[in-house]
Amino acid sequence: MSIVKVIEVIASSEIGIDDAVRKAVSEASKSIRNIDSVYVQDIKAHVKDGKITTFGVICKISFRVDSVD
């Protein structure tokens, strides 16, 4: 039986939502192995002078925990 752990990650991008999600996974991958999926829980955009400046996402990243046998 495998155990799956879920962490919450917040990321942002000046390019777009897709880029923000990719950054979240990329950063998490630096310290976490066995990432299986990412669920985008929330999306927002920051606005300045009537224009979107950055996109932000809150993601739940799921990964399998190595068993210690």
DSSP secondary structure letter of residue 15:
S
pLDDT digits (tens, 9 = 90+) for 19-55: 999 999 999 999 999 999 999 999 999 999 999 999 9
Task: Name beta bridge partners: 24.
Answer: none
Residue 2 has a pLDDT of: 82
Reported as half-sphere exposure (CB side, CA atoms, 13 A), residue 16 has a value of: 1
* Phi (first) and psi of residue 27, to 5 degrees: -65, -45
Residue 45 burial (C-beta neighbours within 10 Å; 0-12, 13-18, 19+): middle
Set out the domains of the chain in order of their start, with CATH numbers. 3-65 (3.30.1660.10)
Q: Which of 49, 37, 41 is nearest to 17 (CA)?
A: 41
Q: What is the pLDDT of residue 25?
A: 97
